Structure 1
Amino acid sequence: MNETMVCAVGRVATQPVYREMASGPSARFRLAVTARYWDREKNTWTDGHTNFFTVWANRQLATNTAASLTVGEPVIVQGRLKVRTDVREGQSWTSADLDAIAIGHDLAWGTSAFRRGGKPETAASPASPEPNWETPPNDSAESSDASAQQQTEAALLT
Protein backbone atom coordinates (compact mmCIF):
# COMPACT_ATOMS: atom_id res chain seq x y z
CA MET A 1 0.00 0.00 0.00
CA ASN A 2 1.28 3.47 -0.79
CA GLU A 3 1.67 5.36 2.47
CA THR A 4 3.93 8.22 3.47
CA MET A 5 6.16 6.97 6.29
CA VAL A 6 8.07 9.64 8.22
CA CYS A 7 10.43 9.88 11.15
CA ALA A 8 9.99 13.06 13.20
CA VAL A 9 12.43 14.19 15.88
CA GLY A 10 11.07 16.77 18.31
CA ARG A 11 9.70 17.43 21.76
CA VAL A 12 6.44 16.46 23.44
CA ALA A 13 4.35 19.67 23.37
CA THR A 14 1.25 18.47 25.26
CA GLN A 15 0.66 15.86 27.93
CA PRO A 16 -0.49 12.60 26.28
CA VAL A 17 -4.26 12.07 26.52
CA TYR A 18 -5.18 8.41 27.09
CA ARG A 19 -8.60 6.96 26.25
CA GLU A 20 -10.12 3.48 26.42
CA MET A 21 -12.05 3.09 23.18
CA ALA A 22 -14.24 0.24 21.92
CA SER A 23 -11.44 -0.70 19.50
CA GLY A 24 -8.80 -0.63 22.27
CA PRO A 25 -6.58 1.94 24.01
CA SER A 26 -5.73 5.17 22.19
CA ALA A 27 -3.42 8.05 23.11
CA ARG A 28 -2.58 11.32 21.43
CA PHE A 29 -0.18 14.19 22.01
CA ARG A 30 1.24 17.13 20.09
CA LEU A 31 4.82 16.95 18.85
CA ALA A 32 6.83 20.13 18.21
CA VAL A 33 9.53 19.76 15.55
CA THR A 34 11.82 22.77 15.24
CA ALA A 35 14.38 23.10 12.47
CA ARG A 36 17.80 24.32 13.66
CA TYR A 37 20.51 25.77 11.49
CA TRP A 38 23.96 27.31 11.88
CA ASP A 39 23.79 31.09 11.49
CA ARG A 40 27.19 32.11 10.12
CA GLU A 41 26.62 35.81 10.79
CA LYS A 42 25.86 35.27 14.49
CA ASN A 43 28.21 32.26 14.73
CA THR A 44 25.56 30.31 16.66
CA TRP A 45 22.78 27.76 16.22
CA THR A 46 19.41 29.36 15.50
CA ASP A 47 15.89 27.97 15.72
CA GLY A 48 13.90 27.95 12.50
CA HIS A 49 10.23 27.27 11.89
CA THR A 50 8.37 24.92 14.28
CA ASN A 51 5.97 22.33 12.86
CA PHE A 52 3.36 20.74 15.12
CA PHE A 53 2.04 17.22 14.56
CA THR A 54 -0.72 15.37 16.38
CA VAL A 55 0.68 11.93 17.18
CA TRP A 56 -1.81 9.07 17.52
CA ALA A 57 -0.85 5.81 19.23
CA ASN A 58 -3.06 2.74 19.51
CA ARG A 59 -3.22 -0.48 21.54
CA GLN A 60 -0.11 -1.29 23.63
CA LEU A 61 1.80 1.66 22.15
CA ALA A 62 -0.92 3.97 23.54
CA THR A 63 -0.64 2.49 27.02
CA ASN A 64 3.16 2.75 27.03
CA THR A 65 3.07 6.29 25.60
CA ALA A 66 0.75 7.56 28.31
CA ALA A 67 2.91 5.96 31.01
CA SER A 68 6.27 7.13 29.61
CA LEU A 69 6.03 10.63 28.13
CA THR A 70 5.74 14.07 29.68
CA VAL A 71 5.80 17.58 28.23
CA GLY A 72 9.20 18.79 27.04
CA GLU A 73 10.84 15.39 26.59
CA PRO A 74 12.79 14.81 23.36
CA VAL A 75 11.29 11.97 21.32
CA ILE A 76 11.56 10.25 17.97
CA VAL A 77 8.32 9.19 16.30
CA GLN A 78 8.02 6.92 13.28
CA GLY A 79 4.67 6.58 11.60
CA ARG A 80 2.29 7.25 8.75
CA LEU A 81 1.78 10.90 7.79
CA LYS A 82 -1.85 11.93 7.32
CA VAL A 83 -2.58 15.47 6.15
CA ARG A 84 -6.18 16.65 6.52
CA THR A 85 -7.82 19.80 5.23
CA ASP A 86 -11.18 21.01 6.53
CA VAL A 87 -13.38 24.10 6.53
CA ARG A 88 -14.91 25.26 9.82
CA GLU A 89 -16.99 28.39 10.14
CA GLY A 90 -15.68 29.63 6.81
CA GLN A 91 -12.04 29.12 7.83
CA SER A 92 -9.89 26.59 6.00
CA TRP A 93 -7.35 24.71 8.11
CA THR A 94 -4.86 21.94 7.57
CA SER A 95 -3.53 19.50 10.14
CA ALA A 96 -0.75 16.96 9.96
CA ASP A 97 -1.18 13.79 12.00
CA LEU A 98 1.22 10.93 12.59
CA ASP A 99 -0.27 7.48 13.07
CA ALA A 100 2.61 6.19 15.20
CA ILE A 101 4.26 2.84 14.70
CA ALA A 102 7.14 3.50 17.12
CA ILE A 103 7.86 6.18 19.72
CA GLY A 104 11.03 6.49 21.79
CA HIS A 105 13.10 8.93 23.77
CA ASP A 106 15.88 10.72 21.87
CA LEU A 107 18.97 9.49 23.71
CA ALA A 108 21.12 12.28 22.23
CA TRP A 109 19.63 14.47 24.98
CA GLY A 110 19.68 12.15 28.00
CA THR A 111 19.28 8.63 29.30
CA SER A 112 16.28 6.37 29.53
CA ALA A 113 15.58 3.14 31.39
CA PHE A 114 13.56 0.55 29.47
CA ARG A 115 10.98 -1.46 31.38
CA ARG A 116 9.03 -4.18 29.63
CA GLY A 117 5.30 -3.56 29.92
CA GLY A 118 2.94 -6.13 31.33
CA LYS A 119 1.22 -8.38 28.81
CA PRO A 120 -2.55 -8.10 28.62
CA GLU A 121 -4.21 -11.11 30.20
CA THR A 122 -5.83 -13.62 27.90
CA ALA A 123 -8.92 -15.45 29.10
CA ALA A 124 -8.45 -19.08 28.11
CA SER A 125 -4.77 -19.54 27.38
CA PRO A 126 -3.27 -22.38 29.42
CA ALA A 127 0.20 -21.77 30.77
CA SER A 128 2.71 -23.62 28.61
CA PRO A 129 6.19 -24.42 29.84
CA GLU A 130 9.02 -22.32 28.46
CA PRO A 131 11.09 -24.32 25.95
CA ASN A 132 14.73 -24.92 26.80
CA TRP A 133 16.69 -23.22 24.01
CA GLU A 134 20.11 -23.67 25.56
CA THR A 135 22.53 -26.11 23.99
CA PRO A 136 23.41 -28.88 26.44
CA PRO A 137 27.08 -29.36 27.33
CA ASN A 138 29.05 -31.70 25.03
CA ASP A 139 29.04 -34.74 27.36
CA SER A 140 25.26 -34.65 27.87
CA ALA A 141 24.73 -33.94 24.15
CA GLU A 142 26.55 -37.17 23.30
CA SER A 143 24.49 -39.17 25.80
CA SER A 144 21.23 -37.61 24.60
CA ASP A 145 22.24 -38.38 20.98
CA ALA A 146 22.85 -42.01 21.93
CA SER A 147 19.53 -42.15 23.78
CA ALA A 148 17.70 -40.65 20.80
CA GLN A 149 19.37 -43.16 18.47
CA GLN A 150 18.29 -46.04 20.74
CA GLN A 151 14.70 -44.77 20.77
CA THR A 152 14.70 -44.46 16.97
CA GLU A 153 16.02 -48.01 16.56
CA ALA A 154 13.41 -49.34 18.99
CA ALA A 155 10.63 -47.56 17.08
CA LEU A 156 11.83 -49.05 13.79
CA LEU A 157 11.86 -52.59 15.21
CA THR A 158 8.24 -52.43 16.38
Structure 2
Amino acid sequence: MNETQSTVRGTVITDPTTRRVGDDQVFSFRVASNTRYQDRATGEWKTGGTLYFSANCWGRLGQRAAGTLCKGDGIIIHGRLLTNEYEKDGRLLRDLEMRVTALGPDLSRMDVTVRRATSDESAPATGGDHGEGPAEGPGEPPDPEEVMRLGSQDDDGSEPAQDRPVEFAEVARV
Protein backbone atom coordinates (compact mmCIF):
# COMPACT_ATOMS: atom_id res chain seq x y z
CA MET A 1 0.00 0.00 0.00
CA ASN A 2 1.33 3.45 -0.90
CA GLU A 3 1.04 5.73 2.12
CA THR A 4 1.88 9.40 1.85
CA GLN A 5 3.44 10.71 5.06
CA SER A 6 3.60 14.47 5.40
CA THR A 7 4.46 17.17 7.94
CA VAL A 8 2.40 20.33 7.84
CA ARG A 9 2.66 23.65 9.66
CA GLY A 10 -0.78 25.24 9.96
CA THR A 11 -3.55 26.78 12.03
CA VAL A 12 -6.49 25.07 13.75
CA ILE A 13 -9.54 26.67 12.06
CA THR A 14 -12.43 24.90 13.82
CA ASP A 15 -13.23 24.15 17.43
CA PRO A 16 -11.77 20.66 18.01
CA THR A 17 -14.19 17.86 18.89
CA THR A 18 -13.87 14.43 20.47
CA ARG A 19 -16.20 11.63 19.41
CA ARG A 20 -16.46 7.86 19.67
CA VAL A 21 -16.15 5.68 16.60
CA GLY A 22 -16.98 2.14 17.62
CA ASP A 23 -14.67 1.32 20.52
CA ASP A 24 -12.18 4.05 19.59
CA GLN A 25 -12.06 7.73 20.47
CA VAL A 26 -11.05 10.30 17.83
CA PHE A 27 -10.07 13.94 18.35
CA SER A 28 -10.75 15.97 15.18
CA PHE A 29 -10.29 19.50 13.86
CA ARG A 30 -9.77 21.31 10.56
CA VAL A 31 -6.41 22.79 9.58
CA ALA A 32 -5.47 25.57 7.15
CA SER A 33 -1.90 25.81 5.90
CA ASN A 34 -0.57 28.45 3.55
CA THR A 35 2.79 29.49 2.26
CA ARG A 36 4.36 32.80 3.18
CA TYR A 37 7.11 34.23 1.08
CA GLN A 38 8.96 37.47 0.72
CA ASP A 39 8.51 39.17 -2.65
CA ARG A 40 12.02 39.72 -4.04
CA ALA A 41 11.05 42.91 -5.86
CA THR A 42 9.21 44.71 -3.05
CA GLY A 43 10.56 42.90 0.02
CA GLU A 44 7.07 42.58 1.51
CA TRP A 45 5.64 39.35 2.89
CA LYS A 46 2.88 37.70 0.82
CA THR A 47 0.58 34.73 1.39
CA GLY A 48 0.24 31.98 -1.21
CA GLY A 49 -2.59 29.47 -1.69
CA THR A 50 -4.18 27.71 1.27
CA LEU A 51 -4.45 23.95 1.86
CA TYR A 52 -7.46 22.87 3.97
CA PHE A 53 -7.86 19.41 5.48
CA SER A 54 -9.36 17.48 8.40
CA ALA A 55 -6.98 16.16 11.07
CA ASN A 56 -7.90 13.08 13.10
CA CYS A 57 -5.97 11.95 16.19
CA TRP A 58 -6.80 8.43 17.35
CA GLY A 59 -6.16 6.56 20.63
CA ARG A 60 -3.59 7.87 23.10
CA LEU A 61 -2.63 10.83 20.88
CA GLY A 62 -6.28 11.89 20.73
CA GLN A 63 -6.60 11.56 24.51
CA ARG A 64 -3.50 13.70 25.08
CA ALA A 65 -4.47 16.33 22.49
CA ALA A 66 -8.06 16.69 23.71
CA GLY A 67 -8.46 19.90 25.68
CA THR A 68 -5.07 21.31 24.65
CA LEU A 69 -5.89 22.84 21.26
CA CYS A 70 -8.17 25.77 20.47
CA LYS A 71 -9.33 27.38 17.26
CA GLY A 72 -6.55 29.72 16.09
CA ASP A 73 -3.62 27.75 17.57
CA GLY A 74 -0.53 27.29 15.42
CA ILE A 75 0.48 23.64 15.13
CA ILE A 76 2.90 21.31 13.39
CA ILE A 77 1.43 17.91 12.58
CA HIS A 78 2.71 14.76 10.94
CA GLY A 79 0.71 11.86 9.61
CA ARG A 80 -0.71 9.90 6.72
CA LEU A 81 -2.65 11.81 4.05
CA LEU A 82 -5.81 10.22 2.67
CA THR A 83 -8.44 11.28 0.16
CA ASN A 84 -11.98 10.33 1.16
CA GLU A 85 -14.63 10.04 -1.55
CA TYR A 86 -18.34 10.25 -0.84
CA GLU A 87 -21.55 11.01 -2.70
CA LYS A 88 -23.82 13.92 -1.81
CA ASP A 89 -26.83 15.07 -3.83
CA GLY A 90 -25.80 12.76 -6.65
CA ARG A 91 -22.30 14.27 -6.93
CA LEU A 92 -19.01 12.56 -6.13
CA LEU A 93 -17.06 14.69 -3.62
CA ARG A 94 -13.55 14.36 -2.24
CA ASP A 95 -12.08 15.53 1.02
CA LEU A 96 -8.51 15.48 2.33
CA GLU A 97 -7.79 13.92 5.74
CA MET A 98 -4.64 13.48 7.78
CA ARG A 99 -4.45 10.57 10.22
CA VAL A 100 -2.16 12.30 12.68
CA THR A 101 0.73 10.36 14.26
CA ALA A 102 2.57 13.34 15.81
CA LEU A 103 1.30 16.75 16.89
CA GLY A 104 2.88 19.75 18.53
CA PRO A 105 2.54 23.50 18.98
CA ASP A 106 4.23 25.89 16.56
CA LEU A 107 6.64 27.60 18.96
CA SER A 108 7.23 30.42 16.48
CA ARG A 109 3.63 31.50 17.08
CA MET A 110 2.89 30.97 20.78
CA ASP A 111 4.29 30.41 24.25
CA VAL A 112 3.83 26.88 25.53
CA THR A 113 4.14 25.07 28.84
CA VAL A 114 5.54 21.56 28.36
CA ARG A 115 5.42 18.63 30.77
CA ARG A 116 7.65 15.68 30.02
CA ALA A 117 5.85 12.32 29.89
CA THR A 118 6.62 9.77 32.58
CA SER A 119 8.19 6.48 31.50
CA ASP A 120 4.72 4.84 31.43
CA GLU A 121 3.35 7.62 29.21
CA SER A 122 6.29 7.58 26.79
CA ALA A 123 6.00 3.87 26.03
CA PRO A 124 5.97 3.24 22.27
CA ALA A 125 2.59 2.95 20.56
CA THR A 126 1.38 -0.60 20.06
CA GLY A 127 -1.28 -2.30 18.00
CA GLY A 128 -4.09 -0.89 15.88
CA ASP A 129 -4.11 0.98 12.58
CA HIS A 130 -4.44 4.31 14.37
CA GLY A 131 -1.25 4.15 16.48
CA GLU A 132 -2.89 4.06 19.89
CA GLY A 133 -0.64 3.16 22.78
CA PRO A 134 -1.25 1.17 25.96
CA ALA A 135 -4.48 1.87 27.82
CA GLU A 136 -3.09 2.93 31.18
CA GLY A 137 -4.21 6.30 32.61
CA PRO A 138 -2.26 9.51 33.15
CA GLY A 139 0.92 9.44 35.24
CA GLU A 140 1.74 11.36 38.37
CA PRO A 141 1.51 15.17 38.35
CA PRO A 142 4.62 16.78 36.89
CA ASP A 143 7.52 17.87 39.05
CA PRO A 144 7.59 21.71 38.87
CA GLU A 145 11.25 21.51 37.82
CA GLU A 146 10.22 19.50 34.74
CA VAL A 147 7.92 22.25 33.45
CA MET A 148 9.54 24.81 31.22
CA ARG A 149 8.38 27.90 29.36
CA LEU A 150 9.13 28.15 25.66
CA GLY A 151 8.52 30.93 23.13
CA SER A 152 9.70 32.46 19.92
CA GLN A 153 8.83 34.97 17.22
CA ASP A 154 6.94 34.90 13.94
CA ASP A 155 8.87 34.38 10.69
CA ASP A 156 9.06 38.11 10.05
CA GLY A 157 10.59 38.79 13.51
CA SER A 158 7.44 40.28 15.03
CA GLU A 159 6.00 39.20 18.37
CA PRO A 160 3.83 36.05 18.29
CA ALA A 161 0.24 36.58 17.15
CA GLN A 162 -0.98 34.72 20.24
CA ASP A 163 0.81 35.49 23.45
CA ARG A 164 -1.32 33.36 25.74
CA PRO A 165 0.42 30.39 27.35
CA VAL A 166 -0.86 26.97 26.30
CA GLU A 167 -0.50 23.80 28.37
CA PHE A 168 0.44 21.28 25.70
CA ALA A 169 0.64 18.11 27.74
CA GLU A 170 -1.67 15.47 29.09
CA VAL A 171 -3.86 17.15 31.69
CA ALA A 172 -6.05 15.39 34.26
CA ARG A 173 -9.55 16.86 33.83
CA VAL A 174 -12.20 16.86 36.53
- Over the matched positions of the two proteins, sequence identity in percent amounts to 29
Residue 38 (str. 1) matches residue 38 (str. 2): yes
Matching residue's letter, 1:78? H
Give the TM-score, by structure 2 length.
0.62
| Shift, 1:3, TM fit | 1.0
Residue 62 (str. 1) matches residue 46 (str. 2): no
Give the TM-score, by structure 1 length.
0.68
| Shift, 1:113, TM fit | 1.4
The answer to whether the 8 Å contact 1:16/1:65 transfers is no
Residue 101 (str. 1) matches residue 101 (str. 2): yes
Residue 110 of structure 2: SS of its match in structure 1?
Answer: coil
CA-atom RMSD in angstroms: 2.2
| Shift, 1:97, TM fit | 0.2
Offset from partner CA, 1:111-142 (integer Å, 9 cap, x none): 311234896548xxxxxxxxxxxxxxxxxxxx
| Shift, 1:66, TM fit | 1.7
- Inter-partner Cα distance in structure 1 for 2:85 and 2:45: 33
| Shift, 1:6, TM fit | 0.6
| Runs of 5+ consecutive residues of structure 1 not aligned to the other structure | 123-158
User: Which has the greater radius of gyration?
Assistant: 1
Aligned length: 122
Residue 37 of structure 1: SS of its match in structure 2?
Answer: strand
Name the counterpart of 2:27: 27
Q: How does 1:1-158 map to 2 (within 5 A)?
A: 1-115=1-115, 116=117, 120-121=135-136
Residue 108 of structure 2: SS of its match in structure 1?
Answer: coil
| Runs of 5+ consecutive residues of structure 2 not aligned to the other structure | 122-134, 138-174
Offset from partner CA, 1:14-72 (integer Å, 9 cap, x none): 11101134322211100110111222343211111111110011111112222210011
- Inter-partner Cα distance in structure 2 for 1:23 and 1:86: 23
- Inter-partner Cα distance in structure 2 for 1:40 and 1:93: 38
Name whichever structure is richer in helix by fraction: 1
> Which piece of structure 1 moves more, 101-110 or 84-93?
84-93
